[in-house]
Amino acid sequence: MAGSASRWHSCLGVIVSRERQRLEHFQRAEDILLTLLEGVHALEPRFLVDYARNLEAFEFALCSSEDAVTVEVPLRIDGDALRVLACQPGDSPAGNHSGLGTCYLEVPSPGTDLEDWTSTVGVMERGGGVRCLAPGKVLQHLKELLVSAIVQCQRRFLLQPGDVSAENLREDAMELSLLICGGWKTLRFDIVPVVRKWQEPLRLKGRLSDRGFPAGSLRKATQEAHFVPASPHCWRSSSHLPILKLLQAVDMLKGPRLDSLRVLNQIRSQDWGEEAGKGGLTFKHLKMVLLWSTELFPSPEDWQDLEGSVYRLLVILLRCLATQRLPHFLYPEENLFQGDRPDFTSLYPKVESFAWDPQRFLHFHFDLPVHTKGWKADPRTQALLQLPAEDGSYWDTAYFDILLSQFQVYRLQDGVRHSAMSQLLSKIRQEIPQQS
């Protein structure tokens, strides 16, 4: 038992040591990016410099892969003066999965300060004389400003040769990609303009507010709506920063919650990523699994040790892979797997084989993934994972307690939860035939 725990913590120790180095690279690149954004602000004061990049740094340090860092550049406009107009079905770009869908932002009547600015940047006209802020034109304006800022910073020797590359700036992209050298490592930043608008904090339908999270964290994370370009004509709601705020709130709780995310993300980057052109799991998927596990396992007793914490994420991940559905934490009607389309046939046996024999995976390798071909999924576990959940009766703590008991990491002293698990288990036994 002690040897098993040592293996888990040894793996975590290596991950954390690398995290510090990654944060150093981010901070060096961030200094260059802030210099550029200050140049953009000097040319166009409507684009603000957000110096509080602690959330992006927090996520980058956690993520072991080389994913791009999303940087939202806020516009200094009164977002509350803009009216949100829903897109027609044909207006929404294909494959867009963004929680609230796509929308138009109507510009108020002429004579306002916002109207003066949009007349320079450009708006688009819709039927009935409606004038809307055009995200494509805002993006183009920001792109031109970034290029000008790069040139000016180089002339003033604020940038060294090789610090920034704009070769990834594409006309048709909905983000502006810059490659920035942070020491010896080059990082990619995807820069997007964002319109902020106050809103009523989300009330998650049928769920207890802040269950498992620090009090007030859900309200603080969702009291502002963020709109970013979805197409040259439509905006979409962005949950990027609200999700990071919730992730940071989880970090305030006791127990190895984020450590469990670190370990699983390391396994993901080695063994569960894209392979042979087929989709794999992403860090975004695991972030959402952690948030669900925080709500579904709200008791601090569930997060007392690293191995048990990892398995609380694992049982939720296995359920999502078996049903091919991972609900967005803030917008559960949205299936995050729908747009990314992971290779479920390959991924499920890999994740289940880790759950049954984690010791084979708890080491670092940089070549081929751990061999899992020929692995036969446990039919009883698969039957449990694929139980129907249209009425939501299985998407509850008692259901996942049963799954945990399957993997022998079940530790529970709560009498109420034990009773709930027993009742649900009796119901399940009537639906799943006993294996001989």
Domains of the chain from N-terminus onward: 2-218 (3.30.460.90), 253-431 (1.10.1410)
Backbone angles phi, psi at 410, to 5 degrees: -85, 115
Tokens of 240: 């990027």
What pLDDT, on the 0 to 100 scale, is given for residue 94? Answer: 45
pLDDT at residue 28 is higher than 70: yes
Tokens of 73: 């550049």
Is pLDDT larger for residue 161 or for residue 53? Answer: 161
The number of beta carbons lying within 10 Å of the beta carbon of residue 159 is 21
What pLDDT, on the 0 to 100 scale, is given for residue 324? Answer: 92
Q: What is the C-alpha to C-alpha distance for residues 356 and 297, in angstroms, rounded to an integer?
A: 21
- Residue 296's contacts (CB-CB under 8 Å, 6 or more residues apart) are 212, 312, 316, 396, 397, 400
Q: What is the C-alpha to C-alpha distance for residues 56 and 69, in angstroms, rounded to an integer?
A: 7
| Residues 265-312 pLDDT 10s | 999 988 887 765 677 899 999 999 999 999 999 989 899 999 999 999
Q: Find out whether 73 and 51 touch, Cβ atoms under 8 Å.
A: no
Q: Find out whether 324 and 344 touch, Cβ atoms under 8 Å.
A: yes
| Residues 45-55 pLDDT 10s | 989 998 887 89
pLDDT at residue 116 is higher than 80: no
- Mean pLDDT, range 36-46, rounded to an integer: 94
Question: How far from 411 is each of 94, 357, 371, 418, CA to CA, in Å?
Answer: 45, 19, 31, 10
Tokens of 256: 């190895």
What pLDDT, on the 0 to 100 scale, is given for residue 385? Answer: 85
Q: Tell me, what amino acid is at 234?
A: C
Tokens of 170: 């594409």
Q: What is the C-alpha to C-alpha distance for residues 175 and 70, in angstroms, rounded to an integer?
A: 9
What pLDDT, on the 0 to 100 scale, is given for residue 108? Answer: 75
Q: What is the C-alpha to C-alpha distance for residues 346 and 330, in angstroms, rounded to an integer?
A: 28
User: Which range, 95-99, 308-312, 427-431, is most confident?
Assistant: 308-312
- Buried b vs exposed e over 20-49: b needs ≥16 C-beta within 10 Å? eebbebbebbbebbebbbebbbeebebbbb
Q: What is the C-alpha to C-alpha distance for residues 172 and 159, in angstroms, rounded to an integer?
A: 27
- Mean pLDDT, range 114-143, rounded to an integer: 78
3 state SS for the chain: CHHHHHHHHHHHHHHHHHHHHHHHHHHHHHHHHHHHHHHHHHHCCCECCCCCCHHHHHHHHHCCCCCCEEEEEEECCCHHHCEEEECCCCCCCCCCCCCCCEEEEECCCCCCHHHHHHHHHCEEEEHHHEEEECHHHHHHHHHHHHHHHHHHHHHCCCCCCCCEECCCCCCCCCCEEEEEEECCEEEEEEEEEEEEEECCCCCCCCCCCCCCCCCCHHHHHHCEEEEEECCCCCEEECCHHHHHHHHHHHHCCCCCHHHHHHHHHHHHHHHCCCECCEECCCHHHHHHHHHHHHHHCCCHHHHCCHHHHHHHHHHHHHHHHHHCCCECCCCCCCEHHHHHCECHHHHHHHHHHHHHCHHHCCCCCCCCCCCCCCCCCCHHHHHHHCCCCCCCCCCCHHHHHHHHHHCCCCCCCCHHHHHHHHHHHHHHHHHCCCCC
Beta bridge mates, 103: 86, 235
How wide is the angle at C-alpha 54 spanned by C-alphas 48 and 57, nearest 5°?
Answer: 110
Is pLDDT larger for residue 2 or for residue 284? Answer: 284
Q: Find out whether 22 and 182 touch, Cβ atoms under 8 Å.
A: no
- Residue 125's contacts (CB-CB under 8 Å, 6 or more residues apart) are 131, 132
- Residue 81's contacts (CB-CB under 8 Å, 6 or more residues apart) are 108, 112, 114
Is pLDDT larger for residue 410 or for residue 352? Answer: 352
pLDDT at residue 425 is higher than 60: yes
CA-nearest of 336, 260, 349 to 297 is 260
> Confidence band (pLDDT; 50, 70, 90) for 86?
confident
- Mean pLDDT, range 253-276, rounded to an integer: 88
What pLDDT, on the 0 to 100 scale, is given for residue 96? Answer: 45
User: Which range, 96-105, 107-116, 168-177, 366-375, is most confident?
Assistant: 168-177
CA-nearest of 173, 340, 331 to 272 is 340
What pLDDT, on the 0 to 100 scale, is given for residue 100? Answer: 52
Mean per-residue pLDDT over the chain, rounded: 83
